[in-house]
Structure 1
């Protein structure tokens, strides 16, 4: 099982790279929802399906909310204070998507809990595909439209503070 906080090439000393590493896991676990539906069509809610559902639940219940806090509480406010109007509008739009994705996650979460309970009928292909599409698309927008501006707008000290805050949120020290 993957550790949702582990990274092999980045540390909290490089907070934007850490956020991108989190996105890699978002893509992986979001895609796993589709794989899970395909698996259950052949095997039902067997031990492998239950383990897969549990790993998705673990990631999106623990690591994903921390990631959104990193952005919503630290990165985005720091950038908004310095951003040009177009970037500020993009940041506000992306922030609003966090609520939409949170609502989608609650639907997926309920379906995954049903899988863990042995029910293979709740996680539909339509729901899994929406989740596996929307979360990675959101991450790509952040990476393309917001993150590149972080190092231009924020000082190295602000980035260091961001990294420390991210680490503290996870009970780690930098």
Structure 2
């Protein structure tokens, strides 16, 4: 298992790792915070593949998925688009050739938002039921989203975070930390 796939300490095998919040203390290390959040996204994608295979999602899992998609995923995308990507573009060297990659990743976020809205709509369609039965289109949507996110996260971990660790200064990381804290309402 590579570093970008390793579960955070104490969370291995929980089955709903995506539902566990990232410790606020990690906001002091914003790149690590983002990496742990990427693990949560991978965990969510694994759950979506499981849902597609089973053809059903129980209500507790529906609630956890919807809560994550409505709140946490949007915050994560803002962390990257408003903080990480712009700071990295300022620090990148010409040989890093990041502008195109970061533009594609931002476009992935926009496409993800469309899929996320469709997933939420599908999952909340019948709120009184103990579980949500997935039809063929719903299963395909979950599998397509999981596959898309898997590739997206590989690029962010393998390219963006790797270069960010080298290029960003301590001041950049403090700026990111403050912004990410403010976005979440977490005091310094």
Q: Same fold (TM over 0.5)?
A: yes
* Partner in structure 2 of residue 51 of structure 1: 60
Q: Distance in 2 between matches of 1:121 and 1:149?
A: 40
Per-residue CA distance 1:6-45 (angstroms, 9 max, x = gap): 339x611111110010011111112212222334x4xx56
Shift of 1:95: 1.0
Post-superposition Cα deviations, 1:72-97, rounded to whole Å, max 9, x if no partner, equal 01111111123245112111111111
The unaligned stretches of length 5 or more in structure 1 are: none
Which consecutive residues of structure 2, in runs of 5 or more, have no partner in the other structure? 1-15
TM-score, length-normalised on structure 1? Answer: 0.85
Greater Cα offset, 133-142 or 83-92: 83-92
1:139 is aligned to 153
Q: How many residues get paired?
A: 167
Q: Distance in 2 between matches of 1:20 and 1:137?
A: 15
How far off its partner does 1:4 sit? 4.3
Q: Equivalences for 1:3-82 in 2 at 5 Å? A: 4-7=20-23, 11-39=26-54, 41=55, 49-82=58-91
Corresponding residue number in structure 1 for 2:111 = 100
Moved more, 145-154 or 157-166: 145-154
Match of 1:109 in 2: 120
Q: Tell me, yes or no, if the aligned pair for 1:78 and 1:154 is still in contact at 8 Å.
A: yes
Query: Bigger CA drift: 29-38 or 157-166?
Result: 29-38
1:37–1:128 Cα contact (<8 Å) kept = yes
* RMSD of aligned residue pairs (Cα, Å): 2.2
1:136: how far off? 2.4
